[in-house]
Amino acid sequence: MASALPLADPAPLDGLLPVSVLDGVADRHFGVYLHVPFCRVRCGYCDFNTYVSEELRGAKRSDYAGQAIEEMHLADGVMRQAALPERQAATVFFGGGTPTMLPVTDLAAMLDAVRTTWGIAPGAEVTTEANPDSVDAAYLLALADAGFTRVSFGMQSAVPRVLATLERTHDPERVPLVVEWARQAGLGVSLDLIYGTPGETMDDWRASLEHAIRQAPDHISAYSLIIEDGTKLARQIRRGEVHAPDEDLQADFYELADELLTAAGYEWYEVSNWARPGGHASRHNLAYWQGHDWWGVGPGAHSHIGGVRWWNVKHPAAYAERIRDGHSPALGREVLDDETRGVERVLLLTRIRDGLKIADLEPASRTAVAGLIGDGLVDGTSALGGSIVLTLRGRLLADAVVRTLLGY
């Protein structure tokens, strides 16, 4: 979760939602995101809303689970006042930060609060992110006992030199251990990778991919490194201490990832995500791309209910104060108009393999599809079936596809 929050209207202190959130609610699933903003160290590339111990003045990590549970109580009241129908959580996702910096009993208590507040649907996907050095076998078994079904490990790279540039603290040889412990606990496993780190070579990236594939996880994410303003890595690049990522090389990295992952039996289902067949795609992340509803709990967490989007105050101390005073922690809010929702629909649905229905496009946008097929960006067979599905080249140029479809 990026630390910079967008500009918008102030959110009401009571958090009440407009009646428009009821429109089309029967067609939307409901999920819960819980942001745990604590890390052992701040990685030089990270722009997420995270805090290390010395940045926690006015807030205690030990108080956090209770505060998050109080926000869930507030959320329940807000949703009831909006007359939203009761919906069990189809997905629950603990992100961060490093959620597993908290005792497993805290994560279990927060998950139990989701269960008692909204209910958790049968077969729901319940995920937590974790660093390989933040869990052991007992911790993972306790997660499974609490009702978690899946863990996403921040592997990032298998090359110590690359991990050092990213300021990641774990030993890559620990990844096989935590994957095996997770499996023994009955948890599904995802591995997150980053490519394009300054100084990373194609051989480095191949080694990381092959290391990840050897663990046979259910799911692999591969994200290109983006240099965010205000991060330590951005300052290092500005001072000439390290080189900025090369976009052409990043494209080569992506093509290698798709080649190796496809050969290993993984299927891409979103531009940066691959999964084994049989329902291993992240349902929670798909819900974001498909425009479903979710309540985001915690400092800086974003929420979306029926075209209303809002985000909480960032610092844990400010969050704690709002919760203590019985106020909504929401800071800013925007009610999306039909045009904005249409643009976002094109932007998000073109990223996933299920694709965007051509019939849902404006007439002028439909006429652009033939040109995109001719340019090798959109799969022609899928288009004949009524959907826009990106080719490999189209995934590399996804933003250009969106601009063309929107007439920009």
Written as one string, the DSSP assignment of 282-340 is -HHHHHHHTT-EEEEESTT-EEEETTEEEEE-SSHHHHHHHHHTT---EEEEEE--HHH
Task: Give dist(CA 379, CA 389) in Å, integer.
Answer: 6
List pLDDT tens digits, range 60-106: 999 999 999 999 999 999 999 999 999 999 999 999 989 999 999 99
List pLDDT tens digits, range 40-49: 776 656 666 7
pLDDT at 187: 98
pLDDT at 192: 98
Helix (H) or strand (E) holding 141: helix 137-146
List pLDDT tens digits, range 253-301: 999 999 999 999 999 999 999 999 999 999 999 999 999 999 999 999 9
In the chain, where does the domain assigned CATH 3.80.30.20 lie?
9-289
CATH class (in words) of the domain with range 9-289: alpha beta
Q: Which residue has the higher pLDDT, 40 or 344?
A: 344
Predicted TM-score (pTM) of the model is 0.94
Q: Tokens 């869930």 map to which residue?
A: 72
Q: By C-alpha distance, which of 256, 276, 252 is closest to 264?
A: 276
pLDDT at 408: 86
Residues 242, 199 contacting (CB under 8 angstroms): yes
pLDDT at 176: 98
pLDDT at 228: 65
When pLDDT is cut at 50, 70 and 90, the band that residue 56 belongs to is: confident
Task: Give dist(CA 54, CA 338) in Å, integer.
Answer: 44
Strands 356-357 and 89-96: unpaired
Residue 378 has pLDDT above 60, yes or no: yes
Residue 1 has pLDDT above 60, yes or no: no
Mean pLDDT of 108-114: 98
Residue 2 has pLDDT above 60, yes or no: no
